[in-house]
Amino acid sequence: MLALGRHLILELKESPYEVLDNLDFIEETLVNAAKSAGLTVVGKTFHKFAPQGVTGVVAIAESHICIHTWPEYGYAAVDIFTCGEAFNPHDTADIIVSKLSSTNSSRTEIPRGIAVQPSEART
């Protein structure tokens, strides 16, 4: 497989309601996590649901970071997708898990790419 990127899927459980329902805090956390890891933020969009919950995407030159929260369950689903070898998505994940105060988290890494040899890639 020609790995073109790394995709982390984070399952964050047992986070405080107040944290997961705070749009400004969630946005700041994802943007700062990207910047702290050396990623290039090129855009962002976030939305606060009623009565609770936040969803958002930070577009980065290297791909994206997105989140959806269920404060009533203390749960957040986070995806971090980075292209190339220059960045470790686990660094970004560590920041997000810590800032969202998850006491029960897991992560799965999926290599993303195509089943060709580099010599077969189109230019």
pLDDT band at 121 (very low <50, low <70, confident <90, very high): low
Residue 51 preceded by cis peptide, ω within 30: yes
Q: Tell me the average pLDDT of the chain.
A: 92
What residues are labeled active site? 63, 68, 83
Query: Has residue 20 got a pLDDT over 60?
Result: yes
DSSP letter (8 states) at residue 61: T
Instruction: Give the whole-number percent of the chain exceeding pLDDT 90.
Output: 78
Residue ranges and CATH numbers for the domains of the chain are 2-113 (3.60.90.10)
What does the alpha-carbon distance between residue 59 and residue 3 come to, in Å, rounded to a whole number? 20
Query: For 4-122, where are the alpha helices, taking DSSP H only?
Result: 17-20, 23-36, 89-99
pLDDT at res. 85: 77
